[in-house]
Homo-oligomer: A and B are copies of this chain.
Amino acid sequence: MDKIKQNTLHGEVAARIRDMIDAGTLAPGSRVPEKQLCEQFGVSRTPLREALKVLASEGFVELLPNRGARISKLTIDTLQHTLEVMSALEGLSGELACAHISEAELANIEALHYQMLAYYKNTNMAEYLLTNQQIHEAIVVASRNDVLIDVYKSLNQRVRRVRFSAELSREYWAKAVQDHEDIIAALRRRDSEALGQILRRHLSDKVEVSSLAGMAEQKNLP
């Protein structure tokens, strides 16, 4: 869609590595093959290593002294913690969005909502999850808080891989859809109190976490 144009070389490399982690081409726990990636990307080690430093500060890789970088594993704990923080941020987004959202944005979110309902009825989980994600991002963007948007996107990026391979139980799925009805209603009447409350609980629900648990690593031991 609207991909952000990375004008720095190390930024470009970092984006590529993130994608490779998402795609599983670089497996969690494995070492980062500097030389090989350099050849693959056609760059020298300098920008690649710069990218690794940035990715380390984002939590995608860990730097091991004198033995390069290793792809971070996503622990169940870390996943749970990340979803908790994202919930808090979504709660704030909801409150702020009530104050700042435009009619056009609201209309767009409603359209996405009905689209999502259709995917739910058809049990099309992949498309459902994608649309669901778009709704949440749209609310976050409507907060008009750039710091919030950045932090949210960064955390989301970190857990995206496992979130999109989730297996939702029938009960959880029904509950999530009901939540979304409530979210749209609260947003439509600009009820920031209610919207904040729903969003703070919506994601961090243990149900989703446990449904995701299978995708994440049990522990981060060597």
The interface of chain A, by Cβ under 8 A from chain B, is 7-8, 10, 46, 49-51, 53-54, 56-59, 63, 65, 77-78, 81-82, 84-85, 87-89, 91-92, 96, 145-148, 150-151, 155
Contact = CB atoms under 8 A, between A and B. Distances in A.
B8 A65 contact: yes
Contacts of A88: 88-89, 91-92
A10 B49 CA distance: 11
Contacts of A87: 92
Interface centre among A56, A77, A88, A148 (most CB of B within 10 A): A88
A84 B78 contact: no
A46 B47 CA distance: 10
Interface secondary structure of A, over-half rule? helix
Contacts of A89: 85, 88-89
Contacts of A46: 46
A92 B85 contact: yes
Candidate in A49, A57, A96 with the most chain B CB atoms within 10 angstroms = A57
Given A84-B92, A84-B96, A85-B145, 10 more contacts: A8-B63, A46-B46, A49-B50, A53-B53, A57-B57, A57-B58, A85-B151, A87-B92, A88-B89, A151-B155
6 closest A-B pairs by beta carbon, nearest first, are A88-B92, A81-B147, A81-B145, A88-B88, A50-B53, A54-B57
A133 B56 CA distance: 27
Contacts of A63: 8
